[in-house]
Amino acid sequence: MRASTFRRLLNLWPPFLFNSIRVQHVAEDYSEARVVLRLRPWNRNYVRTQFGGNLFSMTDPFWMLLVMHQLGGEYFVWDKAGAIDFVAPGRADVYAQFKLEPAVIDELRAAAANGEKVLRWFETDVKTADGEVVAKVRKQLYVRLKPRAREMA
């Protein structure tokens, strides 16, 4: 699927659509993505800042999706774990950038080549437009070569 079509579909996905989360960019080769969470009256918490669940949601699928598209259909790619550290109150729109380096994909392919599971952490900062870090998000991915691909190797 073309990345631009994929971006449009993600923007229509109800958890993003109804919480003012917008995917601004997905690179054609799925090597990077950029997401914004707009601060709106319906997604503020009790103290009128960004709701923590939305801060995590805006980052949740992207490492898995980027890795999945970069590795291709011969691999299982799953979210294994996640953590968020709230650094400062989000009193404005916030942004997250994901950039998947080719060396990371090479590392994952090499580590998974024998059919063993691979666990790897990825990190993303959620920032305001002026660069203030609001949250630090960590996601752990599970990667494994599918059985039919192992047989062919």
* pLDDT recorded at residue 150: 80
* pLDDT recorded at residue 153: 60
Mean pLDDT for each consecutive 10-residue tract of the chain (153 residues)? Answer: 95 95 98 97 93 96 97 96 97 98 97 96 98 98 91 70
Model pTM score? 0.93
* pLDDT recorded at residue 149: 80
Number of domains in the chain: 1
CA distances from 72 to 1, 33, 64, 65, 75 (A): 12, 17, 12, 11, 7
Question: What residues make up the domain containing 133?
Answer: 3-152
> Which residues, 6 or more positions from 54, have their beta carbon under 8 angstroms from its beta carbon?
19, 20, 21, 37, 43
CATH code for the domain in which residue 138 is found:
3.10.129.10
